[in-house]
Amino acid sequence: MIRTLNSNISVDCVVFGFDFEQLYVLLVERQYHDPVTGKEIFNDLTLMGNHIYNNEDLGEAAERILNELTGLSDIYLQQFGAFGNPLRLSKPNDQLWLAASQRDPKNMIVTVGYFSLLNNQDVTLQWKGRNVSWYPVNEVGELAFDHKVILDAALTALRRSLMDEPIGFELLPSKFTLTQLQKLYEAVFGTELDKRNFRKRIAKTKYLIPLDEKQTGVAHKPARLYMFSREVYEKTKRELWDFNI
Amino acid sequence: MIRTLNSNISVDCVVFGFDFEQLYVLLVERQYHDPVTGKEIFNDLTLMGNHIYNNEDLGEAAERILNELTGLSDIYLQQFGAFGNPLRLSKPNDQLWLAASQRDPKNMIVTVGYFSLLNNQDVTLQWKGRNVSWYPVNEVGELAFDHKVILDAALTALRRSLMDEPIGFELLPSKFTLTQLQKLYEAVFGTELDKRNFRKRIAKTKYLIPLDEKQTGVAHKPARLYMFSREVYEKTKRELWDFNI
DNA sequence: AAAGCTTAGTGTATAAATAACACAAAGAGA
DNA sequence: TCTCTTTGTGTTATTTATACACTAAGCTTT
């Protein structure tokens, strides 16, 4: 059975990363050269996206893109919106690009956005032979297509989700310090938090497990390491839920 | 210029209503009769949805559906999700229905969900000559296609939005009493609230304007009427925002 | 070996928000 | 005029949020 791509529907992935200082997003270079002269016409940045296959679920398509990108398959993913503005692909550069990649530039494409949280900074990133790199979210300027709009929506959705549930751990290695966790919140929300109050607040949660292990290789008092327990989180969430009904 | 429908993309609308007691949702009857014998094969319920036109924005398509339904054009709308499970239209009844309406049942359709809040209980509802009526949200059972999944997602999104911003007013007439507002929150969240504490909390907001007008035609002490001021809300929201930065 | 540097880790007091709770007043209807 | 129903209001206790500073640990430098 042949899988055919659906020419009207795509999925775009906004991949966030964190280096204990700033929030980053993965972007791909889009280079276009004049087919005759070979001269570079433009060189800008896009999100990673692709059409979905017919008979493929939207979430599966997003997983597929992330797998192509990282080789990993257990990455946190969350849908945050659908984008269907008829002019979303109409900028001249975008029209050139679509034509060059054998797609009908007049074709309407509705795209569904997923954001994903990547904690593995060491993974090798490659996508369709194009350059992929991390960019600080705060410094991202205009992007190809409507991808800046999509990125902004992803960031809003990330903030909102982070207030509701402890998904921030997906941006950290499995063992992390409380300061690293605090810096994550500070980076995502663009605020400063009080260390003692932050620790008091998270001390109330049961799913943050202190380990008998400390940081190594730091030139100062090493901090204790913690891990996030998804099982405890799911359980305490249910307990709270039961109680609230 | 001919507008063509896009056979792969649709929009479904979840229309909520409120009668000061319960939260309701609008559903359409879907009757299918055997083309030969004329005997009724099934009679169930769906949301209102339709394919989008090529060159039409997703939000516009949702507005169009609501306008067909109510004749109104200023209804509150919010996108809450995209649904693309390849099996979402695969139940036998759904396949029969698609074939009968000249659509290819094997065709994949990704649908984008919008919920809308309708405060006008007096509007005449008609849609494609089919019966449309209000059903208490709590009593809705299985629906056609994956529409129960979509309805549940809409309700979750409504609750979440209602915690973030005062969209509840969209479900009330322009003049309303505080008790009616309270009952709205109670209906949506399925909880009981303390009258005095509720009033204290909303007294803090500036966008709830008391009128020099009272309820009429009630067999008890008439309550004062209030209205929601969108202008004040937008302004105070910006003030808070400015302050927080 | 000692001094210096940097980040970790901890408690208390004050202010603000939330939660629990009861009764007099207004108008319609009998 | 009496009854019924819903409105509208304040205080206290509890919980939660905020502001704030110093010692401890380990590595680095001298």
> B8: nearest CA in chain A?
A8
- Residue B143, amino acid: L
pLDDT at residue B245 in the model: 41
State the count of interchain CB pairs (< 8 A) between A and B.
57
Beta-bridged to residue B130, according to DSSP, are B127
- Nearest-neighbour CA in chain A from B54: distance (Å): 6
Report the distance separating Cα A120 and Cα A165, nearest Å: 21
The answer to whether residues B171 and B16 touch, using CB atoms and an 8 Å cutoff, is yes
Report the distance separating Cα A89 and Cα A183, nearest Å: 36
> pLDDT of chain A along its 245 residues, tens only?
688 999 999 999 999 999 999 999 999 999 999 999 999 999 999 999 999 999 999 999 999 999 999 999 999 999 999 999 999 999 999 999 999 999 999 999 999 999 999 997 778 889 999 999 999 999 999 999 999 999 999 999 999 999 999 999 999 999 999 999 999 999 999 999 999 999 999 999 999 999 999 999 899 999 999 999 999 999 888 776 665 44
pLDDT tens track for B177-217: 999 999 999 999 999 999 999 999 999 999 999 999 999 99
- Distance, angstroms, CA B192 to C1' D10? 21
Q: How is A107-118 classified by DSSP, letter by letter?
A: S--EEEEEEEE-
Mutation target to probe the B interface, by most B beta carbons within 10 A, among A50, A108, A191, A243 is A108
| A 172-191: CB within 7 Å of strand D | none
- Nearest-neighbour CA in chain B from A55: distance (Å): 5
The answer to whether residues A78 and A160 touch, using CB atoms and an 8 Å cutoff, is no
Q: Do B85 and A57 touch (CB under 8 A)?
A: yes
Report the distance separating Cα B225 and Cα B231, nearest Å: 19
CA angle A154, A156, A158 (to 5 degrees): 65
